[in-house]
Structure 1
Amino acid sequence: RAALDGRRAALAPFWLRMREPVGEPSGHALVVDGEDTFTAMLAHLLRSSGLAVTVRRYDEAGLREEVRAHEGVVVLGPGPGDPGDPDDPKMRFLRGLTGEVLREHRQGVLGVCLGHELIAAEYGLPVVRKRVPYQGAQVAVDLFGRQETVGFYNSFVARCEEEAAARLAERGVEVSRSADGEVHALRGPGFAGVQFHPESVLTVRGAEVVRELLAGLSEGVRP
């Protein structure tokens, strides 16, 4: 039993305990699914944070109109593909949608993995292929001044050097990045994005991280 418990020591307690009861929803999240099976886990994590959740695939008819009319946070979810590929219809659509919600949506935008990369690209950061892809890599990172152990599943990453970080800071955008410039997370007025998967069992405090990001969105939404 001790050996089995030791194997679970680095996994998220949220996924190891019985489901805790959640009260009446205090808001409504619309999750844009970029074709990733992690989306179901992300939706569950959002529900545990007190939100009603609707999930829509990026290619569902009427999605753009539903996003425009949505009263609540919009979550740009994870998914495969190169966000910089102009020949990919999915990426063309998601790039356009991301730009639109960042400019116009007033109730918060959260990006996860691909969604985060799309947000980073809208803020002028290059998104490049990683030399060694992360697929199920558990890494300790600095997340806005606090160390978190998180799970990465990405082949692409946004990069941000000192000069770009300074320019973004002037616009009220905070960047969490590694020593070599790989962006772990972004946050600014009314939006946040994380490269890692907070819903993964490898992200030890994923539920808490999501709740904190959501709280920051509600505090920083644009007038």
Structure 2
Amino acid sequence: WLSDDPRVRAALDGRRASLAPFWLRMQEPSGPPTGHALVVDGEDTFTAMLAHVLRSGGLEVAVRRFDEPGLREAALAHEGPLVLGPGPGDPSDATDPKMRFLRSLTAEALGRHRHGVLGVCLGHELIAAELGLDIVRKEVPYQGAQTEIDFFGRPETVGFYNSFVARCDDGTAAELAAHGIEVSRAADGEVHALRG
């Protein structure tokens, strides 16, 4: 077995040495669950890490694939936070059945779901697109890039892992603000986050 090879084990141990301990072991909840989140998996194993973060924050978490029968109904009826998770693909590609479904689900969730909608990676791009923002392919994709950003007025070090980005100019930001939606963005208009 590869896992028994001391060279493989040493290489894996070396790679794990720089990881935060948070990712290497299950976290004990700080108390009883405070709610239940439903994470929509857009075909990305990062959803497991996302679920780990949500559980550590006190939520029970269910992860369901975007193509699982009954997902739309379950997501819209869910009485807790709905997380539109990550996944590969161009969120603007109307010929992709996955993107058509996820765009439709996002539109319905933003209009009908009353228990909070969070978008991460692809989910964030889908929400931005539904709010009318342009989604463009990055010239150079972020692949685990850490950088400090202005996050709604405070500096935060964040990690990016994306090939597409939403863009927002001053006029569009003002229009969204008039509807109660704040935009955290870089000077070049790249959108970091939306809230409201």
Tell me the TM-score normalized by structure 1. Answer: 0.77
Structure 1 match to 2:11: none
Q: How does 1:1-223 map to 2 (within 5 A)?
A: 8=18, 14-15=22-23, 19-188=27-196
| Alignment: residue pair count | 181
Superposition deviation, residue 25 in structure 1 = 0.8
The one-letter amino acid paired with 2:36 is H
Superposition deviation, residue 26 in structure 1 = 1.1
**Unmatched segments (≥5 aa) in structure 2:** 1-13
The one-letter amino acid paired with 2:31 is G
Cα distance between partner residues in 1 of 2:39 and 2:25: 25
The one-letter amino acid paired with 1:92 is R
The answer to which of 151-160 and 12-21 deviates more is 12-21
Cα distance between partner residues in 2 of 1:81 and 1:21: 34
* Residue-by-residue CA offset, 1:60-115 (whole Å, 9 max, x unaligned): 00101111221101000011100000000000000000000000000100000100
The one-letter amino acid paired with 2:89 is G
Runs of 4+ in 1 over 4 A off after TM superposition: none
Structure 1 match to 2:9: none
Cα distance between partner residues in 2 of 1:43 and 1:140: 24
Larger radius of gyration: 2
Cα distance between partner residues in 2 of 1:63 and 1:15: 28
In structure 2, the residue corresponding to 1:139 is in which secondary structure? Answer: strand
The one-letter amino acid paired with 2:84 is L
Higher relative contact order (CA 8 A, sep 6+): 1
